[in-house]
Structure 1
Amino acid sequence: MYGLTQQPLKPSSIKKPVGRFAPSPTGELHFGSLTTAVASYCHIKSMAGNWLLRIEDTDTQRCKPEFSKQILIDLENLGLHWDDEVIYQSQRTKLYNQYIHDELHGLCYACECSRKDLKGQFIYPRNCLHKSLELNKHKVRIELPNHSIGFFDGIQGMQWQNPQKMLGDMVIRRDSNSNHMINYILAVSIDDGLQGITHAMRGLDIMPMTSAQIAIMQIAKLPLIDYWYHLPLVLNDDGQKLSKQNLATPIDTSNERKCSELLATALKFLQQPFVEMDKPQRMLDQAIHQWDTQLLRNKNQ
């Protein structure tokens, strides 16, 4: 369907910058997710853009409403105020399924293979590609293109990825007790396109999925993201990514002093210029005024 992408994807036109923070409410915010929120907020606001909040709660087994509520409370306490209404992916399942059956249908197929069947193979061997199974009764995979896709990352530099060789035919909808849970790669591709996201700033661990997201957005005829930024990861004492799975400690935004200290620590990790200790909103205003993405590149070296 596509030939080799000879040039990295570039912005097609000048438009109002739109960024987003998209936490998954499988737990409360920790310092790793805080740095992503602060970086994406200050970066997009330094360009007078809109910062959107999207709750990625498609995993109905692990995501909890109480975590979603606490995320909103923490962001408000920190002065990280979002533009427009909050989007909850759990309320958009019908939309995602519509894309599976319409725009993406030609490259989607049902799969009945279990993890046991695959014996630990990371790249799916396409056992079900020609079985003509019913989409509504099984998990759904999408055929990703087998060619190089180039994109420039504002922190990591020029990237070339072949989504088929890196990821194979990814599962985009899981069959879980007939709930048909939507996977991250499908939901993020559709929502970033429909929300008009121009600048995506997220953790470095997500970068291997970027070419797959670009491919899905192209296939679905959605507007592409113009600028990519993959942030250095916050690591725990064992050198692991700070995450809920690794029992990262939730942030405490119960009073103004703690919020100010959290912001100061996050900005220091992001190697931004010094910000005076003050009320959270004043600290953010200063951080926005002197925001410098080049310093993130320096941290990555």
Structure 2
Amino acid sequence: MHNFTDMPCLYRGRFAPSPSGPLHFGSLVTAVGSYLEAKSRCGEWLVRIEDLDTPRVVAGAADEILRTLEVFGLHWDGAVVYQSQRHDAYRDALERLQRAGWLYPCVCSRKQIALSALTGCDGPVYAGVCRQRPLAMAGPHASLRVRTPDRIMEYGDRVQGPVRLNLEREIGDFVLCRADGIYAYQLAVVVDDAWQGVTHVVRGADLLYSTARQIYLQQLLGYDTPDYLHLPLVLDAQGKKLSKQTRAEPVVLGNPLPSLVAALRFLGQDAPESLLQADVEAFWQWALANWNPDRIPEAGHAGARDPDEESMLRSLIQDN
């Protein structure tokens, strides 16, 4: 498998779905936004299947996601990368961090963590119960956590604006390898983005604070930090993020235009009604010519859309 970083590119973005079910409208919004950001800058758009969490992988879901992207005209550059084939790279990165003394074994149960955890910007913060445990005491039932320093991290997001937080107090020491031996998302995504030479990351706003974890790992491993843009989340009627876990309906393959137009409008773009009668190629021609990332709304406003607009978006997806 070739090294993507051997191929210089001014803009290299990526879409990285997990194969835990078919592509739903929330994932489509991310795919459309990341694709338009890449292609409007004459860049590359890669696809990576994040299938590390094997208990959550649904058989055939990866192929179904790829087929959906093709039907919707979302054509990727290069070969699709599967994280399940990259274990050696994650192990090498983990060993580098081990040798540098950044890791320690954690044997706390979920119940213990829930009882002792503090609350940070992104949910529970591990209280560091096992922080003084030597790495030599790591057993078969221990996860590996990375130490976070008591210092402020600042980074910018092109839609959400500046973020400022204390790594230790608001994020805490986080897991890089689970007790069951599965490498954590935070480690894998950092290693893969660096290996693929990703220069820009466009994804959902639910990962805004994961960016702090990933920038920290990039610094420890000596990797470049990409530019970040976090898109607004698509919420259901109860105000929860659309996801495969909440059984979000898959996008309809028979007629992709209503969903594509709805995704474009959700991202703040003035897609005309005439696009509903166009073909997929004509849709992308218009979308690329008129893409304006400055019109993307912030995630905090995603659940407070105008009721008439929300009804229109829903009807575009469901009734066509």
TM-score norm. by structure 1 comes to 0.88
Matches of residues 1-301 of structure 1 in structure 2 within 5 Å?
Answer: 16-103=10-97, 105=99, 106-120=101-115, 121=117, 122-134=124-136, 135=138, 137=140, 138-176=142-180, 180-225=181-226, 227-253=227-253, 255=254, 258-275=255-272, 276-277=275-276, 278-297=278-297
Deviations 1:132-154 (A, max 9, x none): 24446321101123211211111
Distance 1:221 1:69 in 2: 34
Distance 2:92 2:295 in 1: 42
What percent identity do the matched residue pairs reach?
Answer: 38
Q: Secondary structure at the match of 1:182?
A: coil
Distance 1:273 1:164 in 2: 42
Amino acid at match of 2:263: A
Amino acid at match of 2:264: L
Amino acid at match of 2:270: P
User: Residues 267 and 297 of structure 2 are in contact (CA less than 8 Å); yes or no, is this contact kept in structure 1?
Assistant: no
Distance 1:163 1:129, change over 3 A: same
Deviations 1:254-278 (A, max 9, x none): x3xx111211111111121325232
User: Residues 203 and 229 of structure 2 are in contact (CA less than 8 Å); yes or no, is this contact kept in structure 1?
Assistant: yes
Q: Secondary structure at the match of 2:156?
A: strand
User: Aligned pair count?
Assistant: 281
Distance 1:104 1:37, change over 3 A: farther
Distance 1:84 1:145, change over 3 A: farther
User: Residues 154 and 229 of structure 1 are in contact (CA less than 8 Å); yes or no, is this contact kept in structure 2?
Assistant: yes
Q: Secondary structure at the match of 2:79?
A: coil
User: Residues 142 and 169 of structure 1 are in contact (CA less than 8 Å); yes or no, is this contact kept in structure 2?
Assistant: yes
261-270 or 156-165, which deviates more: 156-165
Runs (5+) with no aligned partner, structure 1: 1-13
Runs (5+) with no aligned partner, structure 2: 1-7, 118-123, 302-320
Deviations 1:213-270 (A, max 9, x none): 1010110111211x211111100011111111111101121x3xx1112111111111
Deviations 1:125-178 (A, max 9, x none): 2222222244463211011232112111110111112222222100111122xx
TM-superposed CA distance for 1:281, in Å, is: 2.3
Amino acid at match of 2:204: G
Q: Secondary structure at the match of 2:287?
A: helix
Which structure 1 residue ranges, 4+ long, deviate > 3 Å from structure 2?
Answer: 133-136, 297-301
Distance 2:113 2:10 in 1: 45
**Counterpart residue number, 1:4:** none
Distance 1:92 1:298 in 2: 34
User: Residues 96 and 182 of structure 1 are in contact (CA less than 8 Å); yes or no, is this contact kept in structure 2?
Assistant: yes
TM-score norm. by structure 2 comes to 0.83
User: Residues 44 and 51 of structure 1 are in contact (CA less than 8 Å); yes or no, is this contact kept in structure 2?
Assistant: yes
User: Residues 154 and 163 of structure 2 are in contact (CA less than 8 Å); yes or no, is this contact kept in structure 1?
Assistant: yes
157-166 or 46-55, which deviates more: 157-166
